Amino acid sequence: MEKLRIIGVIVFEKSSQFFTLGQVVEVSGFDRITVRRALEKLIREKLILTISKKDAYQLKASAPIDLGKGRPSLAITYRVADKKGLVERVAPKMKEGTAQDRMWTAMRYKSHADRTFSVAEIVRLANVNKEHARWFFKSLRRVGIVQPSKAGGPGVEWMLIKDTGPRRPYVGGQVKKSDQ
Amino acid sequence: MKNIFVHTKNVKLFNDGINAINHKLKGVERMLLVTGEPGLGKTETSISYCAQNGAVMIRTLQLMTGPWLLRKIVEELGSAPEKRISAIFDQIIDLQKTKPRTIILDEVDRFAEKTEILETIRDIHDVCHCPIVFVGEEMADKKLMRYRRLYRRFVGVVKFEKLDKNDVRDFVTSVADINIDVEAIDRMASESAGKISDIVNWIHHVEAWAHRNQAKKVGIKDIWKS
């Protein structure tokens, strides 16, 4: 499932051009069978299309050329058929009504009302535990959505510097700089 | 001091009011008006309700026009507003039909002079049949009273008032980490005149004093020492 999403993202990045299996393999680092299966799944879902070998060959040469017997020398060419659908398919699926949703709503509305907010206020308003709130604040700070008033210590006020809308931003799957 | 959201008398009234408009009865209005002096926790209570129940809150602005408000509602309902006003209105109806949500309008007394906006909100209520909560200052009900067709749609008017002695007792006992004497709490209530921010300051001082002196219980004489 995770591999399909990674391949989907690579395919999306190539949505403005034709691409081959080999190109996706090279970028993703997965083996050819895994990539082929993922692409076949995306084809079944009508998110990408294949261009037949013959047609693909004819894109370059005007006259039809006989490919002959055996393995064709030209790779199958793919292209994205439904860009919007592909985005929805590969976008992380988020549950609704979670503690993070509550915190995000409280942050946005508190920010609209008072401009700044503290971790304690969000804990109180969203009814979540302190550790979870601190993790969420840290994750949002890493992606540049919130900013603290000072480096640390008591009485830190936070500010929402990028309001991405009522749907909470995806903050999972980030890697710390020190871990890289 | 514990960091918890205390359900005071005002919060309970607010929740009761919202419960009264969250029904599925046809032909029964679903609008609520919440009024009160500044600093009594109207906005805080609204934010808490929105966070816990997925309601939508819009902070109104003095310069806000009808189209601006409609666009803001669509954005808060989680969609990108269309270009034409008629399309935006249809969008709100569609969004509310697919996923009905309570709309809370904060500082609504700013619209007291803007008939067009108030009538538009009434139209949204009538067409979508969605719960709408107006939150405003203490004179908001008097300001809105002259719009009779709008005012009669309010199922109830919730007035936020300063905390009384019982409320302060509940608040202090649920928030304070140490045992504070009832007489001392009553004294805090009279000194703070029911304002939560002043009560919180009192609790901080008393707790700090108790921590310094390793006291387990704080009496009326001790609160002056702190």
Contact yes or no for B45/B75 (Cβ under 8 A):
no
Task: Indicate which of B47, B59, B98 best probes the interface with A, i.e. most A CBs within 10 Å of its own CB.
Answer: B47
Residue A177 lies in a domain: no
Of A90, A121, A140, the last residue of a domain is A90
Residues A64 and A122 in one domain: no
Contact A130 B3 (CB under 8 A): yes
Residues from chain A that touch B4, judged by Cβ atoms under 8 A, are 124
What is the reported pLDDT for B226? Answer: 62
Residues A75 and A150 in one domain: no
**Domains held by chain A: number:** 2
Mean pLDDT of A112-126: 93
Can you say how many angstroms the Cα of residue A49 is from the centroid of all Cα atoms in its chain? 21
Q: For A62-79, give one letter per residue: b (16+ CB within 10 A) or e.
A: eeeeeeeeeeeeeeebbe
pLDDT of B68 above 90: yes
Nearest to A78 by CA among A23, A155, A120: A23
Q: Is A165 on the interface with B (CB under 8 A)?
A: yes
Residue A110 lies in a domain: yes
Mean pLDDT of B10-37: 90
Residues A84 and A126 in one domain: no
Residues A17 and A79 in one domain: yes
Mean pLDDT of A101-115: 94
Contact B5 A113 (CB under 8 A): no
The Cα of B66 is separated from the nearest Cα of chain A by a number of Å equal to: 19
Residue A118 lies in a domain: yes
Residue A146 lies in a domain: yes
Residue A29 lies in a domain: yes
Summarised one tens digit per residue, pLDDT across range A25-39 is 988 889 999 999 999
Contact yes or no for B95/B77 (Cβ under 8 A):
yes
Question: Considering CB atoms only, which of B5, B50, B77 is closest to A109?
Answer: B50
Residues A41 and A85 in one domain: yes
Residues A122 and A80 in one domain: no
The Cα of B54 is separated from the nearest Cα of chain A by a number of Å equal to: 7
| Whole-number Å distance between alpha carbons of A20 and B197 | 65
For a pLDDT cut of 90, what percent of chain B falls above it? 53
- Residue A47 sits in a domain whose CATH number is 1.10.10.10
**Residues near B219 by Cβ (< 8 Å), separated by ≥ 6?**
B181, B183, B184
Residues A75 and A106 in one domain: no
Residues A71 and A7 in one domain: yes
Q: Which domain holds residue A46?
A: 2-90
Residues A86 and A104 in one domain: no
Residue A126 lies in a domain: yes
pLDDT of A63 above 80: no
Question: Considering CB atoms only, which of B47, B76, B78 is closest to A110?
Answer: B47
Sorting pLDDT into bands at 50, 70 and 90, what band is A179? very low
**Residues near B130 by Cβ (< 8 Å), separated by ≥ 6?**
B30, B96, B100, B101, B102, B103, B124
B4: nearest CA partner in chain A: A124
Mean pLDDT of A51-62: 55
Residue A169 lies in a domain: no
Residue A39 lies in a domain: yes
Mean pLDDT of B15-28: 87
Mean pLDDT of B110-134: 93
Residues A71 and A45 in one domain: yes
Residues A49 and A81 in one domain: yes
Residues A84 and A105 in one domain: no
